[in-house]
A and B are shown apart, each in its own frame.
Chain A
Amino acid sequence: MLLSANLNTYLVVALFLLVLGFYGVIQHRTFIGMLISAELILNGAGLNFMAFNKFLAPDPAVGQVFTLFIMGIAAAEAAIAVSVIIAVYRKYNTSDPDEVHDLHG
């Protein structure tokens, strides 16, 4: 059986993207790096929707609409996150997540 016609192949690729995104969120020490890793996780979710849409769903429009929805959410999320990062950078003059705090102690 062809690997490209097998549901599990796509699910494993999506799983790899999810775990990679997790690891990136944990290990990046910058806000932008965390945002990049979060985009990887969102893409894994989109790939999952498309895979289930192709192999299992009764209506092939459902998964495509939902993946488009995820793309829109990701674009909105990136816009908000970048502007929050700019605001934080302006207030604290740093982009290290460990140094962004108000309480000392």
Chain B
Amino acid sequence: MNLYQYIAEALFFAFILLTFSGGLLAVRSRILMHAVLGLAVSLLGVAGLYYFLGSPFLAMMQILIYVGAVCIMIVFGIMVGYTPTEVVSRGIKGKNLVLALGACISTFLLLLVALNRATWIPAAVHRGDFSLAYLGKSLLYQYCLAFELISVVLLTAIIGAIILAQDKEGGHF
């Protein structure tokens, strides 16, 4: 193993740490703005992991769509209903907290055991590569339906969001 591999491995762990710490901040924060910040950090970490999984394009899309669009939209949602630095109540306590932690930890352990017992068999034949040209070609030929479907879903969602958020009495937003 040479120096570059060590650096890459250290970066990998940095991204995993980013994902974990951001997720913890998103879940445990008392202030909603901090929770969104944690979500953005966590999504950045996942974008780094996408890079390690051989798809720089998906990493860029992750930053563009998730960190850029979804987080900003959630920030707008916060600013409509809350004072941004307002401390929202911590939520569950006592018995409920124990039950929630128990459910989550048991789910984690169950899936971890299942994961360790599973044997994954790689596909026998491979075709294509990880290049952006191949991805674009498959997106417009073989997986054309997914491409068109997501456009329709996004258009419907935009129109639906406008109708839902409309003020019925005044007719303005």
Contacts and interface: CB of A to CB of B under 8 A. Distances in A.
B78 to A, nearest CB: 6
Q: Which of A24, A37, A46 counts the most chain B CB atoms within 10 A?
A: A24
A90 interface: yes
A73 B143 CA distance: 16
Given A58-B125, A89-B80, A47 B46 contact: yes
Contacts of A23: 27, 100-101, 104
A30 B88 contact: yes
Nearest to A4: B12
A26 to B, nearest CB: 4
Contacts, number: 237
Interface string A68-89: 1101111111111111111101
A49 to B, nearest CB: 10
**Which size bracket describes the interface of B in this complex?**
35 or more
A39 B77 CA distance: 14
**Which size bracket describes the interface of A in this complex?**
35 or more
A37 B26 contact: yes
Contacts of B146: 65-66, 68-69
Contacts of B97: 27
B128 A50 contact: no
A2 interface: yes
B134 A17 contact: no
A36 B34 CA distance: 11
B108 A65 contact: no
Interface string A7-31: 1111111011111111110111110
Q: Which of A27, A47, A54 counts the most chain B CB atoms within 10 A?
A: A27
A80 B123 contact: no
A82 B74 contact: yes
A89 to B, nearest CB: 5
Interface of B: 5, 8-9, 12-13, 16, 19-20, 23-24, 26-27, 32, 35-36, 38-39, 42-43, 46, 49-50, 52-55, 57-58, 61-62, 65-66, 69-70, 73-74, 76-78, 80-82, 88-92, 97, 100-101, 103-105, 107-108, 111-112, 115-116, 120-130, 134-135, 138-139, 142-143, 146-147, 149-150, 153-154, 156-158, 160-162, 164-165, 167
